[in-house]
Chains A and B, each alone.
Chain A
Amino acid sequence: MASTSLHGASVGDRIFRLATTAFALSIPLLLVLLAIDVAAAAWPALKTFGVAFLTSSRWDAVDGVFGAAPAIYGTIVSSVLALLIATPLAVGVAIFLSEFAPAWLRQPVAFLVDLLAAIPSVVYGLWGIFVLVPFLRERVMPLLADRLHLGGTPLFSGPAYGPSMLAAAVILAIMVLPYISSVTREVLMAVPRSQREAALALGATRWEMIWGAVLPYASSGVLGSIILGLGRALGETMAVTMVIGNRHEISSSLFAPGYTMASLIANEFSEATNDLHLSALMAVGAVLLAITLVVNVLARWLVWRVQRQGQA
């Protein structure tokens, strides 16, 4: 044994190193294989329809014509709308918790907000169908369209069915809020005390300190948290499927039903009887995968920028 240790690593060390290396490589390999598989399965549909697959609104399984534009549109619009609703709330909660909340309130509220992320999405969907959708149909939509006279604008026109783009966005907003809020809270609490003191010593009020010194210092991190939320929203399936109405059509109105890529796959995979239909669903999956990958890379890059700035 003594002689082997002089001539390099022992056998045990070598096996251990090989094993851990294999584990470490298996995860990226899995991702690559998955992407290749999805792309290969999607290829027939993409080859058949070309760019029209991304731009056409016609999705007809009987005639074998597939255009995923409404689902792509729905995914992006519902997610972006969800972020527009969730971000101010989430950042507000994070600022309150990191800057204003008394110590005894901080932990319980942070815990409850984080708990929102633990609720299964099908439960959100159920709540959406029986509570949120009727509420939107009977209170919010009439308020927006009639009381505020926004009914004439394209965004809020048409009949209030209930299941709609708006319902999907609200559900998504609630679901991504804990992600944005807890990452933002961490980022804000990581702003050095010296930065806060520098602002206070210049005669800044608490608010001026937060607005002028804390938020700018944390801005890239806050942006990263929003993109993290966007990643969540893009891929969310169950709850959205239950409230968005699942109609394959692009409508400018938020009151109208829509579709998302994830819902489309979830609804149709069991009925895809021919190869082209299945391939079309795979192509939808490939587009979704590509969008979420880009979003995550963007988030990573932003976090990296924050870290580099922190070292400077």
Chain B
Amino acid sequence: MPLTAVRFGATVTAESPATTTAPIVSVRSLDAYFAATRAVRDVSLDLVEGQVTAIIGPSGCGKSTLLRCLNRMHETVPSAHTEGEVLLEGKDIYARGVNPIEVRRRIGMVFQRPTPFPTMSIRDNVIAGFRAAGPAAPTRGEQHDIAESSLRRAALWDEVKDRLHESATALSGGQQQRLCIARALATKPRVLLLDEPTASLDPLSSQKVEELVYELRGDVTIVIVTHNMQQAARVSDRTAFMLLGELVEAAPTSRLFTSPVDERTESYITGRFG
């Protein structure tokens, strides 16, 4: 397990010698604003390809905002903007001339509450990302293959294979969330962002989503924002702790939870605040 250096705010350390591969996503001195409010402060963070990175921290610490900066969703909120760089395979997604649409096609996202499109069938939901793509749309046969493989990857195929043409709203909350994961996976993104994906689910459904995240590791690079420290400990390779918009500490999960370097991290994981 690579031991990328713990990063404090602006201190951009040199690449850790332990990192064997270049990070697939590299956040460099990122600030995110809502109007004049700075919700993310000077965050630098590397995501290692194929790993699951968890972002933890108390409510309002900016973890969801940071996540939404990684696929340029942050800027869709009126008056929101960012400063700094986010490198996807070495290229700054905030550089002039970069189309945010293309960025979002390479970096998928799943939200806190399931967001199936209610007027579409289960199958059409999975391939919705292709419909949106326009002229390069897959043929019907390809669509079916994509739907099946994506639903299999999201561990939902067996539950829905007999009712692919029913409305997506007929599914349970947990199934809907896995459907959204299947939909995000369908376009084969390099990175998948999960914004508190189990926050609205019951424990059993949460467990299924967690198992899915665990199975997808290695295949897709995943960033998961969570309130739940046990969940972060269970599913992630690395964990980043945020507080008041700052990235306090990022380290291999086992180390962050056993021997945190920063005392604020220790206070948080031992339950003294948040």
Contacts and interface: CB of A to CB of B under 8 A. Distances in A.
Interface of A: 103, 194-205, 208-209, 212-213, 216-217, 219, 309, 312
Contacts of A195: 115, 117
A197 B111 contact: yes
Interface in B183-220: 183-184, 187
Interface in B91-132: 101-102, 104-105, 108-109, 111, 113, 115, 117-120, 128-129, 131-132
14 contacts: A194-B111, A194-B113, A196-B76, A201-B73, A201-B184, A202-B104, A202-B183, A203-B133, A209-B132, A212-B117, A216-B120, A217-B117, A217-B118, A312-B169
Nearest to A215: B119
A208 B132 contact: yes
A244 to B, nearest CB: 39
A212 B111 contact: no
Given A199-B132, A200-B104, A203-B105, A216 B73 contact: no
Interface of B: 71, 73, 76, 78, 101-102, 104-105, 108-109, 111, 113, 115, 117-120, 128-129, 131-134, 169, 180, 183-184, 187
Given A197-B73, A312-B169, A203 B117 contact: no
Contacts of A103: 78
B73 A202 contact: no
Contacts of B187: 202-203
A212 B133 CA distance: 11
A195 B73 CA distance: 13
Nearest to A219: B119
Contacts of A219: 119
Contacts of B78: 103
Contacts of B71: 201
A203 B115 contact: no
A216 B128 CA distance: 13
Contacts of B105: 202-203
B76 A212 contact: no
Contacts of B113: 194
Nearest to A202: B129
A199 B71 CA distance: 13
Contacts of B129: 202-203
Listed residue (A198, A202, A208, A209) with the most chain B CB atoms within 10 angstroms of its CB: A202
B128 A202 contact: yes
Contacts of A216: 117, 119-120
A261 B69 CA distance: 60
Given A202-B104, A203-B101, 9 more contacts: A195-B115, A196-B76, A197-B73, A198-B117, A198-B180, A199-B128, A201-B108, A202-B184, A217-B118
A17 B78 CA distance: 49
B76 A197 contact: yes
Contacts of A198: 111, 115, 117, 180
A116 to B, nearest CB: 28
Contacts of B120: 216
Contacts of B101: 203-205
Listed residue (A201, A213, A219) with the most chain B CB atoms within 10 angstroms of its CB: A201
A198 B108 CA distance: 10
Contacts of B111: 194, 197-198, 201
Listed residue (B132, B134, B180) with the most chain A CB atoms within 10 angstroms of its CB: B132
Q: Sort A-B residue pairs by CB-CB distance and give the 5 closest, nearest first.
A: A203-B105, A198-B115, A201-B109, A204-B132, A202-B129
A208 B137 CA distance: 13
Contact of A200 (B73, B117, B133, B169): B73
